[in-house]
């Protein structure tokens, strides 16, 4: 254990030590943490649905009828009528043949690469992909090849160099979780089709927020199941509930049900979560005003933050990082904002590359202009 102590101490010295804060209120833009009332800019609850009364009621009603725990894995007797209905709704909403629920996005990603590929196969990933995609490739035993961020020429070169006849999968974040910019999914889809590879998009940060009905980046770009055969999206961010789903062809989903270990060997998530998700999808599809309001806030934040002495990133999404660089400085800024009643987390390596520590500001449809003004005013005082 001495080794571990030294390791932890080194993290402190490097400004990399992480600490959990205890949230005492529901998710929302106004939270209470460690006994302090805060204005929050660090949740992925982009539409402000995590504490929505209709979604909570749907969840409570389902608990009354179905209890809390699912009791078993989906293939034993944990697959409830609500899970089934939720999968059908997600398939229809995302314009895919079928969908499959997972307990977390991390597990869904692990399931994909490790079920569909093996030794001697090839996986191509953007350097800025989420850790769960990287881990999924590692667990698959396939060869992981990473290309420079959004560098489509390099991806094409790499695809053209690898031997044909092997399975090849390109996996990418739709919206990069720590930078907020989008992948060039149209080109990725074209290249994958040209070089006989599959493409997979992780729409964790686009689902609910992008597209005319909120069905995500693929809806926005009008890319169907033939063009992007594998879609994964999480439900714990804009949808405001928990878990994730994979959507695609009948063959893809049936293969995952039969073979994916992170699907088979785990207890199904509570059926009430599926009921909450069903209600949330209805609200997302019905109410475009939340997406419009969020887009207004994104534009307003970028306009106001342009006057700060911190670098804005080229992001049009709800993720608006402000790059600080130094780990200690990013942490100190986050702590000072916290003292002023504003919560923005500092993101440090290894989540982002060394030397690019940042304040990851996330916006929500629940934010008003005066909230953004408050954040900018305090940042100006601190810089």
What residues make contact with ligand PLP under the rule CB under 6 A? Answer: 104-106, 109, 130, 132, 173, 177, 202, 204, 234, 236, 244
Q: From the CB of 161, what's the least distance to ligand PLP, in Å?
A: 27
**DSSP letters of 293-361?**
HHHHHHHHHHHHHTTSSSEEPS--SSEEEEEEESHHHHHHHHHHHHHTTEE--EE-TTSS-TT-EEEEE
Give the residue from 169, 167, 121, 183 showing the smallest Cα distance to 315.
183
Residues in the chain: 383
The string of DSSP codes covering 202-236 is E-TTTTTTSSSSS--HHHHHT--TTTS-EEEEESS
* Residue 287, Ramachandran bin (φ over 0: left; ψ between -120 and 50: alpha; else beta): beta
Provide, rounded to whole angstroms, the least separation between the CB of residue 243 and ligand PLP: 7
CA distance 91 to 270: 20
The residues annotated as belonging to the active site are 177, 205, 237
Contact 322, 307 (CB under 8 A): no
Nearer to ligand PLP, 183 or 379 (CB): 183
* Cβ-based nearer residue to ligand PLP, 96 or 130: 130
Closer residue to ligand PLP in complex, CB, 195/198? 198
Nearer to ligand PLP, 356 or 362 (CB): 362
Q: How far is the CB of 214 from ligand PLP (least distance, A)?
A: 17
Least distance to ligand PLP, CB of residue 172, Å? 10
Nearer to ligand PLP, 131 or 383 (CB): 131
Q: To the nearest whole angstrom, how small is the minimum distance from the Cβ of residue 270 to ligand PLP?
A: 15
Q: Are 361 and 304 in contact (CB under 8 A)?
A: no
d(CA 115, CA 261): 8
Query: If you search the block for the tokens 């006989």, which residue do you land on?
Result: 196
């Amino acid at each position: 254990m001495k080794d571990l102590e030294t390791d932890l101490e080194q993290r402190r010295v490097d400004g990399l030590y992480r600490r959990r804060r205890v949230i005492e209120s529901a998710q929302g833009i106004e939270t209470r943490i460690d006994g302090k009332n805060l204005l929050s800019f660090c949740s992925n609850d982009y539409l402000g649905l995590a504490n929505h009364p209709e979604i909570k009621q749907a969840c409570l009603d389902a608990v009354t009828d179905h209890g809390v725990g699912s009791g078993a894995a989906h293939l034993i007797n944990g697959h409830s009528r609500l899970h089934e209905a939720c999968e059908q709704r997600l398939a229809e909403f995302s314009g895919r043949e079928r969908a499959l629920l997972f307990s977390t996005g991390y597990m869904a990603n692990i399931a994909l690469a490790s079920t569909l590929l093996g030794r001697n196969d090839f996986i191509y990933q953007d350097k800025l992909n989420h850790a769960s995609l990287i881990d999924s490739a590692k667990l698959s035993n396939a060869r992981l090849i990473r290309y420079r961020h959004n560098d489509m020429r390099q991806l094409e070169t790499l695809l053209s160099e690898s031997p044909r006849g092997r399975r090849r999968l390109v996996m990418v974040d739709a919206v990069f979780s720590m930078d907020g910019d989008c992948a060039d999914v149209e080109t990725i889809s074209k290249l994958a089709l040209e070089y006989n590879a599959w493409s997979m998009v992780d729409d964790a940060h686009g689902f609910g927020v992008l597209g005319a009905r909120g069905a995500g980046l693929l809806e926005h770009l009008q890319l169907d199941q033939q063009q992007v055969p594998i879609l994964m999206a999480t439900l714990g961010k804009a949808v405001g509930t928990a878990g994730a789903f994979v959507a695609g062809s009948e063959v893809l989903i049936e293969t995952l049900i039969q073979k994916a270990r992170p699907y088979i060997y785990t207890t199904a998530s509570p059926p009430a979560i599926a009921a909450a998700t069903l209600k949330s999808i209805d609200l997302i599809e019905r109410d475009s005003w939340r997406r419009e309001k969020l887009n207004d806030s994104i534009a307003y934040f970028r306009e106001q933050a342009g006057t700060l002495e911190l670098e804005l990133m080229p992001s049009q999404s709800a993720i608006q990082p402000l790059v600080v660089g130094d780990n200690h400085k990013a942490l100190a800024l986050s702590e000072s904002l916290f003292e002023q009643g504003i919560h923005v987390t500092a993101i440090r390596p290894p989540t982002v590359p060394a030397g690019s520590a940042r304040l990851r500001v996330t916006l929500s449809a629940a934010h008003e202009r005066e909230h953004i003004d408050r954040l900018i005013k305090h940042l100006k005082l601190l810089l």
